[in-house]
Amino acid sequence: MKISVLTLFPDFIENIKDFSIVGRAISENRLALECIDIRDFAINKYLQVDDYPYGGGPGMLMQIKPIVEAIESVKTENSKVYYMSPQGKVLNQKKLNELKNEEHIILLNGHYEGIDNRVIENYVDEEISIGDYVLTGGELASMVIIDGVSRLLDGVLASEDSFTDESHYNGLLEHPQYTRPREYRGLAVPDILLSGDHEKIRKYRLKESLRNTLNKRPDLLKNKKLNEEEKKILKDLLEGGKDNGLY
């Protein structure tokens, strides 16, 4: 797939190209990542891309002309334009799964007090937020999307299990993980993980995944369609009561 990032700070985004999974996706030609400097489409020789808002108010707004021409410089009939905005729908794993199936996505990053709303109304397919807070610009949000999408592309991770078992992928939080040493300062790895019984380990991990979700993000269970095994485990957890505030 291809991702085009429209930004006033292309060097900020360029750094991610050498980072871990994103770098691997690019080197294996599974991801094409380009940065477009919106200032290349500025209205004058001073590289102006902002102006005072009509009607007054604090700060400056990014102008429509540079943004639209930047979009048009990369957009094709198969492109989708996403504006990084605190007013957008909050990003989740489901959305990342949708984005990774797109042929070409354009990530538009605002700055200052935002952008001329005519861009949003006429040139943006969807607004995306990474949380209910405000950042200086959209670049960090774009980098979150780039990283989250890259690792989902076919063949980037060594195994599909590398992401399908993770938190949020299946609507639940991930089960706890452990590695060597087996014991450290009296803290031991659960014996069942060393048993070699794959079915028991699977059931243990499912139970701990449900326990984690129940304790940390019970809101996720409201929208999760549980299978019969998951329903039984959750029922047992709830009937078992709370131990020091935890199930």
184: domain CATH number? 1.10.1270.20
Which has more confidence, 232 or 161?
232
The b-or-e profile of 176-190 (16+ CB within 10 A means b, else e) is eeeeeeeeeeeeebe
Domain for residue 245, yes or no? no
Looking at the 3D structure of the chain, how many domains does it have? 2
CATH (domain of 56): 3.40.1280.10
Q: Which domain holds residue 146?
A: 2-150
186 in the same domain as 112: no
Is 47 labeled as ligand-binding?
no
Is residue 234 in some structural domain? yes
Task: Please check whether residue 81 lies inside any domain of the structure.
Answer: yes
Within this chain, do residues 91 and 172 fall inside the same structural domain, yes or no? no
Mean pLDDT taken over the chain: 93
Q: Are residues 32 and 58 in the same domain?
A: yes
Same domain assignment for residues 22 and 91: yes
Residue 232 scores a pLDDT above 50: yes
User: Of 115, 150, 185, which closes a domain?
Assistant: 150
Give the pLDDT confidence of 131-157 residue by residue, as tens digits. 999 999 999 999 999 999 999 999 999
Is 134 annotated as a binding-site member?
A: yes
Judgement on whether residues 22 and 140 belong to the same structural domain of the protein: yes
Residues 118, 178 within the same domain: no
Single pTM value for the model: 0.87
> Is residue 157 a part of any domain in this protein?
no
* Measured distance between the N- and C-terminal CA atoms of the chain, rounded to whole angstroms: 43
Residues 23 and 73 in one domain: yes
Does 105 share its domain with 134? yes
pLDDT exceeds 60 at position 167: no
pLDDT of residue 149: 98
Asked whether the predicted pLDDT for residue 40 surpasses 50, the reply is yes
Q: Both 174 and 146 in a single domain? A: no
Answer for the pair 142, 107: CB distance below 8 angstroms, yes or no.
yes
Evaluate if residue 247 carries a pLDDT over 90.
Answer: no
Picking from 94, 120, 150, the residue at the C-terminal end of a domain is 150
Burial pattern 5-33, b for ≥16 Cβ within 10 A else e, equals: bbbbbbebbeebbeeebbebbbeeeebeb
Residue 226 lies in a domain: yes
Q: Do 77 and 35 lie in a common domain?
A: yes
Tokens of 245: 């505030």
**110 annotated to a ligand binding site:** yes
Q: Amino acid identity of 51?
A: D
197 assigned binding-site residue: no
pLDDT value for 245: 54
Q: Are residues 94 and 175 in the same domain?
A: no
133 is in an annotated binding site: yes
Question: Given 121, 150, 179, which residue is the final one in a domain?
Answer: 150
119 is in an annotated binding site: no
For residues 16 and 139, what is the distance between their CA atoms, to the nearest angstrom? 11
**Residue 247 domain flag:** no
Query: Same structural domain for residues 22 and 126?
Result: yes
Does some domain include residue 156? Answer: no
Percent of the chain with pLDDT over 90: 87
